[in-house]
Structure 1
Amino acid sequence: MLDLFAGCGGLTRGFVDQGSFQSVGAVELDRAAAATYAANFDPTGRHTYAGDIAGYTEVPPVDLVIGGPPCQGFSALGKRDPADVRNQLWREFVRIVRESRARMFVFENVDRFAKTPEFQLLRAAAGEGGELADFQTQVFRLNAADFGAPQKRIRTIIVGSRIGPVAEPLPTHAKVPGEARARWVSLREAFLEGPVVLEPAVREEWLPESSIDFQGDAVPGAFKLRDLHITRNHDLTSLIRYAHIQPGQSRFQLPEELQYACWRRHTKGAGDVLGRLQWDQPAVTIRTEFFKPEKGRFLHPQWENGGEQINRALTHAEAAVVQGFDERHLWCGTKAEIARQIGNAVPPPLARAVAFSVAGRLKGAR
């Protein structure tokens, strides 16, 4: 397979873990993210292209192309500008699918992508007379929590196939469990009972002093998951604010004297801002600035009841676990670069579920 807009390799991690796929190429513009990808799936760095996808011309023949173009142009958090250059990157995806002679492709993006003109153009490319006319496309709206990630994160998955349709990925978890599904994985299970147990109390603010060579450049890393269990030094006023927020609450529960002036003027909307997570629920969607409680519902779930009050945002390690990464995955870059990689990643448990469906079709076509 070939991974486009590969980021830190969340999609590839899920597909490789499924057991049927091998990465023979990856394209990623961000050098730190490309270094992370290479550290995990391409130790020599020979098949990781760190640059603009428009310059990627030596396309290998593959069975499958996977990828998720940058979503900021489509995201509800962005300006949703139709002219945003990032909204046109799907055309490069189409080009490489054709040049690779792939039998299938998997295109991942935010939930909102299915409502954009670009989505209709992509579907049209697979229609009569289109560049991908020999592909049949299927669209799935999938929630990572339904596949074992401790996070409610909905994504649009488009599967294109020249060899017949795939089965819809089968959820393994549900908000209300049933005979065939377990309950959604909670933060308590993910942080305290899962394969990666992370102690709530942390003091370190900096990553270890370490770097690797990536295609001639020194890049910070490669860091293990527990190296990322670091926090920020919050000022006293912030700590006082955080101490007022109980699990499930947000900025609306702050006394007036602790609210920012802009919050006093805007009493509706942004209900997740300065929000505290809950132990017995999955997290909300992890974003690239999860380490700033003022940006969303990212306060650690531990409050006074049942233990020490933890007044900080999620650490990088906790955010990675929420995405579904484990201790095998290595990380490269600065704190900010790694946070961006984590926030933009496809949850590996979701990717693995899609991989099962795709592998079933590819094996059946041999």
Structure 2
Amino acid sequence: MRRPPTMIDLFAGCGGMSLGFQQAGFRSIMAVEHDLHAAATYAANFGEAHVFQEDIAVIPDSEIPQADLIIGGPPCQGFSNLGSKDVDDPRNKLWKEYLRFVDKAQPKVFVLENVSRFRKSNEFDLLMEEADHGSLKGYELEHDVLVASDYGVAQRRPRAIVIGTRRDLSPIGHPPTTHARVPGLDLLPWETVRSRIEGLPRVPESTELPTRDPVRYFGQAVPGHFSGLDLHIGRRPVARSLERYDHIPPGGGRFDLPDHLLSDCWRNKPTGTTDVMGRMLWDAPSPTIRTEFFKPEKGRYLHPQWSPNDPSDRVNRVITHYEAARLQDFPDTYKWCGTKVSIARQIGNAVPVGLAAAIGRHIKDRLEG
């Protein structure tokens, strides 16, 4: 039997990208993640032995194995439209550590993912220069923005994807889309919020994760494991917030609020930030699941159930961690470690599993074909 191709996952987070590539037939032989809780989640699902829970910059060249594939997404806060947009943000330099691993591991292919705005950054220009006459001159680079909903994920999440193929191989290219808003002969309809979270309890039983003995990873105790309905946790909004939620229909947002429920900042900003205090639609993909999806003032994160004629048939709350994880295509059996805030951060920072799997299948097919 042909051995599974091997991969290294850098800035691995909780493992969303690794899980997708594993589903496509790759085997992880090394993962690097600095954050303890995220690394513990990764180890809980893929094993601890090959996980390095430390700063990528301190890992010596001698520890870097050869692999068929390197995947990963250096931190993107400096590039993100929601971030500082600071070109001097030191996190933006971590992609150079990614290139060090490529240089030492000499993979057949590497995949670098980031926010879509990355392709307009100075760092991206430097990356292209590396491919022209620097450390990546042995690779052919192709880049594009892929939207997760076009690959069977119930979420409109755009990501910049750079695929580098070693020059002794045929360029891999990006995977063709499989889904569309309007399906065609070869395209399936978009997956929807309904397909992921319909039927879950409307009222979460708790606002906290279950109390249980911690688990140990990397010699340290961390909260966990949590999975499935353990993550179906709510919040305790004040009466004024509940009144606001009740005015917002599916697809609506802060512009549906009566004047007496507007905050001063909303009243003084008549345009923009249209997703703020927004309610999802049942029969469409969700917006991007970010790290603070549990705060309605951060985006369109209100539960989609809202009856115009029956106030008792309205779910006036934000989505739960469990619902967010499902919208990111994590299976119910996935084990999570950390506090509820750190788990939310892990979920929001992850690459949607379905998008990673689509890229992985395409690469594996091209390498084997």
Shorter-chain TM band: over 0.9
Structure 1: any 5+ residue segments left out of the alignment? Answer: none
Aligned length: 356
2:298 pairs with 1:295: yes
Question: Which residue type is aligned with residue 133 of structure 1?
Answer: K
Deviation at 1:160, TM superposition (A): 0.6
Deviation at 1:83, TM superposition (A): 0.3
Question: Which residue type is aligned with residue 134 of structure 1?
Answer: G
Deviations 1:295-350 (A, max 9, x none): 11100000125872101101001001111111132111000000000101000110
Q: Do the aligned partners of 2:206 and 2:233 also contact (CA within 8 Å) in 1?
A: yes
Query: Which one of the candidate residues 7, 29, 34 is aligned to 1:29?
Result: 34
Q: Could you tell me the TM-score, scaled by structure 2's length? A: 0.94
Structure 2: any 5+ residue segments left out of the alignment? Answer: 1-6
- Hey, what's the Cα distance between the residues in 2 that align with 1:101 and 1:166? 16
Q: Do the aligned partners of 2:276 and 2:298 also contact (CA within 8 Å) in 1?
A: yes
Q: Do the aligned partners of 1:166 and 1:360 also contact (CA within 8 Å) in 2?
A: no
Deviations 1:199-239 (A, max 9, x none): 22223111112321011111111111221011111111111
Query: Which one of the candidate residues 138, 141, 145 is aligned to 1:141?
Result: 145
2:173 pairs with 1:171: no
Partner of 2:232: 229
Secondary structure, counterpart of 2:27 in structure 1: coil
Deviations 1:106-135 (A, max 9, x none): 0000111111111111111111x2101101
Partner of 1:342: 347
Q: Could you tell me the TM-score, scaled by structure 1's length? A: 0.95
Q: Do the aligned partners of 2:163 and 2:173 also contact (CA within 8 Å) in 1?
A: no
Partner of 2:356: 351
Secondary structure, counterpart of 2:98 in structure 1: helix
Q: Do the aligned partners of 2:231 and 2:321 also contact (CA within 8 Å) in 1?
A: yes
Deviation at 1:263, TM superposition (A): 1.1
Secondary structure, counterpart of 1:199 in structure 2: coil
Secondary structure, counterpart of 1:285 in structure 2: coil
Q: Do the aligned partners of 2:307 and 2:313 also contact (CA within 8 Å) in 1?
A: yes
Once superposed, which parts of structure 1, at least 4 consecutive aligned residues long, lie more than 3 Å away? none
2:136 pairs with 1:132: yes
Spell out the pairing of 1:278-293 with structure 2 (5 A cutoff). 278-293=281-296
Q: Do the aligned partners of 2:39 and 2:53 also contact (CA within 8 Å) in 1?
A: yes
- Hey, what's the Cα distance between the residues in 2 that align with 1:123 and 1:175? 33
- Hey, what's the Cα distance between the residues in 1 that align with 2:215 and 2:192? 35
Secondary structure, counterpart of 2:135 in structure 1: coil
2:52 pairs with 1:49: yes
2:209 pairs with 1:207: yes
Deviation at 1:247, TM superposition (A): 0.7
Q: Do the aligned partners of 2:163 and 2:174 also contact (CA within 8 Å) in 1?
A: no
